[in-house]
Amino acid sequence: VEFLYCDLASMKSIRQFVQQFRAKNCPLHVLVNNAGVMLVPERKTEDGFEEHFGLNYLGHFLLTNLLLDTLKQSGTHSHNARIITVSSATHYVGKLHLNDLQSRCSYSPHGAYAQSKLALVLFTYRLQHLLTANGSHVTANVVDPGVVNTELYKHVFWVVKVVKWMTAWLFFKTPEEGASTTIYAAVSPEMEGAGGCYLYNEERTKSAAVAYDEELQRRLWTESCKMVGISDEASRLP
């Protein structure tokens, strides 16, 4: 195991990480996008992005795009490279505000978090469409890990923290249990060649209906390219 530092809240750090990784000339068979914050107070990343959107979504959007060439070179017809992005059931109540992705008009920790998780689902579906259109041996899927007992909840109201402390053993998954669907998506033979899926408890299920809106997927992709400063070659594809 070798560790390379990458701060998903920093576009500069992400680009430096990709340079370091590419310099090793290693194949990339599995990319898991799992970093995130939840219900943080209103604040910005060093690039000026609202933190939920910047870290949870844009960081992974840029990282994945910068690594796509390596993933495409690593995948084969019999063994596709795999991209797994971790979202949340919270995306079901999320709303994507294309005219205010940074939540400048009205900030809500819950709304900003849910929007970032919905954006990840939209991104995954659009990415799979583009990979298929290009004939790439890479699949992209999105995972809902469930309610997991981790430090992700450190910004919730103190009453919720008390309830979590008292009931986590009964209602919350352990980190190991929470990781099971991500691992399934990454290595299971059953997922070979399967992309554009929303997975929960190691089964394919339906995401929010709005996530299947192809026009919304395209518009988010185009806007995301502008925000992170990469070319939107995908805009020329159907």
Check residues 176 and 169 and name the one with the higher pLDDT: 176
CATH number for 33 = 3.40.50.720
pLDDT of residue 172: 62
Residue 11 parent element (H or E): helix 11-23
Tokens describing residue 194: 């399967």
Q: Evaluate whether residue 4 is within a structural domain.
A: no
pLDDT in tens, 61-79: 999 999 999 999 999 999 9
Q: pLDDT, tens digit, for every residue of 212-237? A: 999 999 999 999 999 999 988 755 44
Would 231 be classed as within a structural domain?
yes
- Whether 2 maps to a domain, the answer reads no
Number of domains in the chain: 1
Q: Is residue 128 part of a domain?
A: yes
Q: Cα–Cα distance between 39 and 41 in angstroms, integer? A: 7
Predicted TM-score (pTM) of the model is: 0.88
Residue 215 falls inside a structural domain: yes
Query: 176: pLDDT confidence band, cut at 50, 70 and 90?
Result: confident
8 Å CB contact between 8 and 62:
no
- Within-domain flag for 100: yes
Provide mean pLDDT across the span 99-111: 91
Q: Which domain range does residue 148 map to?
A: 11-235
Q: Which residues does the annotation mark as catalytic?
A: 113
**In the β-sheet with 198-200, what is the strand arrangement from edge to edge?**
30-33, 81-86, 138-144, 198-200, 203-205
Q: Is residue 117 part of a domain?
A: yes
Domain-located, residue 6: no
